[in-house]
Amino acid sequence: MREKRRSGRALLRPRSAVAALTAAGLVGLAALTGCDGQPGAARDGRQRPPRPSPTPTPVWDRSPASVAAVGDSITRGFDACELLADCPEASWATGTDTAVRSLAQRLLGPAAAAEHSWNHARTGARMADLPAQMTQAAAQGPELVAVMVGANDACRARPALMTPVEDFTRSFTAAMSALRRTAPKAQVYVSSVPDLMRLWSTGRGNPLGRQIWKLGICASMLGNAEDLSEEAQRRRARVHERVVAYNEALKSVCAKDLRCRYDGGDVFDYRFTGRQLSHWDWFHPSKDGQSRLAEIAYRNVTSPRPPR
């Protein structure tokens, strides 16, 4: 009988151990939850600081691995290398000329830029041409699309022929939609339209430039460059106001897309000098001017925050 009682006591010990562990666990839980049973509360009732939430991944990638360009003659490097000819190797966006150091070269390096950048811009293009260009660019799956277009919408034979702001806005919206159908995650960098009034002011002091402008380059702004009459000033002011309105439209449409950055008017505000204008037409950027555009774009694309 003595041996049986010992065995009985031995069989009860594991259950006692489980009970003890369960009690200890409840005590520990009470210590974590506090006396009121709320998670995170200490015994004295003070709330524990919440755990920091993980930092969200930024939507904007400051180091895209491929670049496509769309737009007009500026992005084609027109008159940057020779008279009345495109020079895409000097393009601010995707050019290969190391003297320019295009946006693609600055982002990817010269070797990678040659393989992973594409230029779909066309000399003479207006905003209405952008949806088709965007469709071409999207098919190549670029991580960044660089946009500069709008000068030709204002540069017409006379101000009455300028693209209405509503049509300009509608075409840019359609271009963004065309891109998103095929490349929903592609980033878009949008350059403002240059200040045509400032280009007139810079180039009109050059006799050769004035003669070339008589051939019809941006006649709405540059025609009769030496005419300072009230009528001529009103004509130029009308063109200037339209360019400002175009830039507001670019900014507004871009702001509706999380992966779009407008340059904040940096190109519009930039003061091109005679050295930065083509000596063949005193209107398009020279290689030096193209390099300045690339510098502005690179600064804005790689900035932690978008331009204001």
3-state secondary structure of 67: strand
Q: Kindly report, residue by residue over 104-137, the tens digit of the pLDDT.
A: 999 999 999 999 999 999 999 999 999 999 999 9
Confidence check: pLDDT of 61 > 60:
yes
**Among 96, 98, 104, 102, which residue's Cα sits nearest to residue 65?**
104
H/E run at residue 189 = strand 187-190
Burial of 86 (0-12, 13-18, 19+ CB in 10 A): buried
Backbone angles phi, psi at 285, to 5 degrees: -65, 140
Residue 227 reports pLDDT greater than 80: yes
**pLDDT tens-digit map of 231-284:** 999 999 999 999 999 999 999 999 999 999 999 999 999 999 999 999 999 999
- Which strands sit side by side in the sheet containing 187-190, from one edge to the other? 117-119, 67-71, 144-148, 187-190, 260-262
Domain 67-301: top CATH class: alpha beta
User: Does the model's pTM come out above 0.85?
Assistant: no
